[in-house]
Structure 1
């Protein structure tokens, strides 16, 4: 029985310690709830300010580089000079060739017309001489020509 009394006494003692610890925890919890925390933001704000300043510097540098690049691109040629010269030369050569061809066609058609007239006159002269040499052929031709119409 003594053992049960000892165990009961130990149990009562442990329960009273537990109650004491509970009271302390309630008191600490109440103090924790009442305590106001104010975080120290000075270090964080100084870090953020330095970062913002460095970003501003980088942003200004980028802006000046982009504006310089834009100026350079607006001044630059989009096609190489040699290509423009080559294209101009080819176009000029083509224009000259077409102009010369048109001129030659015109001259040759005029020459052909002159040769046609000359040939027609020679043929008429030849027929006239033939009809003068052979008057019976002329009479047959005139008879044939009147029958044809």
Structure 2
């Protein structure tokens, strides 16, 4: 029985402590109800509105950029990489051939002069040998030249 009395006494003390805690909570609750708190959300609303405007502006700018990108993509031409490499190779080849042709054309007058001089020397050598081998023909030629030179 002594144990039951002891347990009953402990329970009574705990209940008294619990009642005191409830009393304190009720007083704190009443104090909180009587406090004149009025929540002011104007600053929060202003910040939210500013963030919303910034976000709207960003979305509009992104839409405009996306439309520009889509327009460029629609106008673009898809070529395989081998075709682009082939075109670059062709362009380089054309430029090399064109450059070589210009170089050869610039040397053409020198080649013509050299060929003309070589041909003239060869022809003069041939005629000199011919005239040396046949003096009668040389005399006839000189006579003909004098007659044509006077006219």
Q: TM-score, normalised by structure 2?
A: 0.44
Give the TM-score, by structure 1 length: 0.44
Higher gyration radius (CA): 1
